[in-house]
A and B are shown apart, each in its own frame.
Chain A
Amino acid sequence: MKELVIISGKGGTGKTSIAAAFASLAQNSVIADCDVDAADLHLVLSPTIRKRSDFSGGKKAFIHTDKCIGCGVCLSHCRFGAVVQDDNADETASGLKDCENCEHCKRSCSVRDRTLIREMQQSMGLAGSTIFRIDSFACQGCKVCVEFCPVNAIDFRLVVNGEWFISDTRFGPMVHAKLGIAEENSGKLVTLIRKEAKKIAEEQNKDLIIIDGSPGIGCPVIASITGADLVLVVTEPTLSGKHDLERVAKLTSNFKIKTLVCINKADINPEMSGIIEQQAAELGLKVIGKIPYDEAFTKAQLMKAALIEYTDCEIAEKIKTIWQKILYEFA
């Protein structure tokens, strides 16, 4: 069983349309949408959901305001700006009830360490009524505040970051997800989707997993390519496309994954297409196809159809040839 990942570096080059076309051509595959930030493949494949599960990417801190003594130790330890003073807290009463702001503590502290200053203030019985809370968008779940809170006022709770699904499509089983809005841990969700797709492939004797990846070169992309068998980079003949291809190719080469390139919208700038082919050769990558700009990409989307289902003109033939070359690489 092999894993094919479709990525692009630059966004909007046509990854998802091409992934859907491959899904329609593959005889015996599992489809995995790993672009969990902005998943679109379901809009073409219209999956029927068979099983839905919550995704929890990890834990986050929560302060019990009734237990918080306002000492600020959490604030001094948090490096993500996730500890914030409650907006409702009265500024004049904040922190130090009887403090006259002489700042002797701050000036006398030779290392100017916030923790020490806070401890000093506390030991003088000055800690007052400031209430802190956690900004859960900023919290990275490091648990450091939980560990150091002197009165155990901070809980460390599992949070649900999204949902993932096992579905049926007209081209075979599909694993996909919906990351909660403004949620993190997309890398972990990608890893989970790949694991589940593999499980299904093993159970149902599927020989290929087609993975639709996300743009960029960061954590979700790394999670979708690690250990995969083949990467197809879909690029476009623009300076941005060229720049991003170079970066994404370095990434796949760091991970020692065989990488192929296809140039979409190739006729927008034929000269740039040539330059990209040359660049790919220098990077040791094979360009296995060039697809001309075609409105069919959008029209197929509007019909919720894969490109091959929508049209049998030139681009369908080009994509079929690219698919044959991919199968050849696997064989």
Chain B
Amino acid sequence: MIISVASGKGGTGKTTISTNLAMSLAIAGQQVQYLDCDAEEPNGHIFLKPNIETTEDVTVGVPEVDLKKCTGCGKCGQLCQYCAIISSQNDVLVFENLCHSCGGCIAICPSGAITEKQRKIGTAQFGKSNGVYFGRGKLDIGAIQTPALIRHIKKQIQEDIINIIDAPPGTSCPVITAVKGSDFVLLVTEPTPFGLNDLELAVGMIRQLKIPFAVAINRNGIGDDSVINYCKKENIEVLLQIPDDRKIAENYSRGVMIVEAIPDYRQKFLKLYEDIQKLRKNL
């Protein structure tokens, strides 16, 4: 089972909901894994405080040119769609930070002058936190290949347990890479005009990807009813509502999870999981 927690708007509570859900399930005796795929700004570790057992570099292939073998034919530069390799008569320039690692230059080089070397784009860490299997990707500053890093983290998905993916915000390639292949997506929003606008975008994205989904509303009470009304109109289930509560916000600021500060919330998160399972069965 793979559940992704995503949102159009940033800062709506993806990490809050995914870490609390994972911890509640673990306390209830379930086998559960939390994977932080918000690789640009991963924050799940602040709340789950895992013991990291392994740390590994995540790399992507970039071209390395042997000028002795290069004939200066220019085919590599003509094929490259990202301006990452430029060939002139007596030199080849490689711009590693623009490279998308498609392998085209290597495949097309007629003289075998281009080989692939590894370039680090970030790190992956794995460990355990009070019964929750933990994984996170952390993009290096200045690197742009967020999807490659997310794909690496997602290799840890285990089919026979519950996998919870904490996705990045937005609606473009990093999010799609994170949620693709999920059995269910929970879209987190807040009841404000910004929250509604970005929820609509996220719903459009998930519908295109054809993954079953539902909504969770965080900080309920700060805005208006437009999100609830939208969900009713679109026949979208709202599975969880967390009230706007200064106690939760203050605990959040110190890295304390809701289920630690207010243990009653465990039942709410377990109910959330049950409801997700029910929704999936009824499909």
Residue positions of A touching B, CB distance < 8 A: 8-13, 16, 37-38, 40, 43, 58-59, 77, 79-80, 137, 140-144, 147-148, 179, 181-187, 214-222, 236-241, 243-244, 247, 250-251, 254, 268-269, 272, 295, 298, 301-302, 304
Contact = CB atoms under 8 A, between A and B. Distances in A.
Interface stretch (B22-30, B66-74, B88-96, B247-255): B247-255
B100 to A, nearest CB: 6
Given A181-B201, A269-B254, A10 B41 contact: yes
B77 interface: no
Contact of A77 (B101, B107, B193): B107
29 contacts: A9-B41, A11-B10, A11-B12, A38-B171, A40-B9, A40-B193, A58-B81, A79-B101, A137-B180, A140-B100, A143-B79, A179-B171, A182-B172, A183-B172, A215-B41, A216-B168, A219-B144, A222-B144, A239-B46, A239-B254, A240-B255, A243-B46, A244-B43, A268-B246, A268-B249, A272-B254, A298-B222, A301-B193, A302-B193
Contacts, number: 182
Given A37-B172, A298-B223, A144 B253 contact: no
A140 B102 contact: yes
Given A40-B9, A222-B144, A301 B194 contact: yes
B193 A179 contact: no
A217 B170 CA distance: 13
Interface in B145-181: 146, 168-174, 176, 180
A16 B8 CA distance: 14
Nearest to A214: B170
A148 B141 CA distance: 35
Contacts of B41: 9-11, 215-217, 240, 243-244, 247
A222 B140 CA distance: 13
Interface stretch (B125-133, B203-211, B235-243, B268-276): B203-211
A80 B8 CA distance: 24
Contacts of A79: 101-103
Contacts of B103: 77, 79, 144
A8 B180 CA distance: 27
Contacts of A218: 40, 139, 144, 146, 174
B108 interface: yes
B229 interface: no
Contact of B222 (A10, A141, A295): A295
Contacts of B204: 181-182
B31 interface: no
A12 B12 CA distance: 6
A244 B142 CA distance: 14
A259 to B, nearest CB: 13
B166 to A, nearest CB: 12
Contacts of B250: 268-269
Nearest to A236: B253
Given A37-B172, A143-B81, 16 more contacts: A11-B10, A12-B11, A38-B170, A40-B9, A137-B208, A141-B81, A142-B102, A142-B104, A181-B171, A181-B201, A186-B172, A217-B41, A222-B144, A240-B255, A251-B142, A301-B192
A11 B9 contact: yes
Given A38-B9, A58-B81, A142-B81, A272 B253 contact: yes
A144 B46 contact: no
A98 B230 CA distance: 55
B4 to A, nearest CB: 14
Contacts of A43: 193-194, 197
A18 B141 CA distance: 25
Contact of B176 (A182, A240, A268): A182
A148 B102 CA distance: 13
Q: 10 closest pairs, A vs B, by CB?
A: A11-B10, A12-B11, A142-B102, A37-B170, A216-B40, A11-B11, A215-B10, A269-B253, A238-B253, A144-B104
A298 B173 CA distance: 29
Contacts of A302: 192-193, 223-224
Contacts of A254: 141-142
B65 to A, nearest CB: 18
A166 B169 CA distance: 26
Give the interface centre of B15, B104, B208 by most chain A CB atoms within 10 Å.
B104
Contacts of A215: 10-11, 40-41, 169-170
Of the candidates B40, B101, B249, the one having the most CB atoms from chain A within 10 angstroms of its own CB is B40
B162 to A, nearest CB: 24
Residue among B102, B107, B169, B253 with max Cβ neighbours from chain A (10 Å): B253
Given A142-B102, A144-B79, A216-B41, A250 B193 contact: no
A40 B174 CA distance: 20
Given A142-B104, A238-B252, A240-B43, A182 B208 contact: yes
Nearest to A156: B81
